[in-house]
Amino acid sequence: MLVGTLCVDVHIPGSTSLKDKRRVVKSMISKVQHRFNVSIVELYSEDLWQRATIGVAYIGDEREHVERQLQYVLNFLDAEPDWEIIAVDLEMK
């Protein structure tokens, strides 16, 4: 069994408050959960209104499958027009 984790730091330039940020982040988290069946949560930067760190976890038997699923999630996150990805960390354990 392999556990793949993806940590994505994003900048939300249109956010002018924590409320704006929460709207964008919670919407995307919900979309990813329903589309990809992964565990996803906002980490760390909860009090910064233009930055967010999104953590994703996926468990599988084959390394290629886990990496492919996390790459699909990353591509989906990258397509979000309300933010810009500034850092990505992908790990397998």
CATH number at residue 68: 3.30.70.1120
- Strand arrangement of the beta sheet that strand 84-92 belongs to: 39-43, 51-60, 2-11, 84-92
Q: How many domains does the chain have?
A: 1
Q: Please give the pLDDT value at position 44.
A: 80
Sorted by sequence, the CB contacts under 8 Å of residue 40 that are 6+ apart come out as: 29, 32, 33, 54, 55, 56, 57, 73
Q: How far apart are CA 13 and CA 33, in angstroms?
A: 24
Q: What is the pLDDT of residues 28-82, one digit of tens each?
A: 999 999 999 999 999 986 788 899 999 999 999 999 999 999 999 999 999 999 9
Q: Kindly tell me the sign of the dihedral angle through the C-alpha atoms of 67, 82, 87, 28.
A: negative
CA–CA–CA angle 76, 78, 83 (5° rounding): 120
Q: What is the pLDDT of residues 15-34, one digit of tens each?
A: 999 999 999 999 999 999 99
Query: What is the domain extent for residue 47?
Result: 2-92
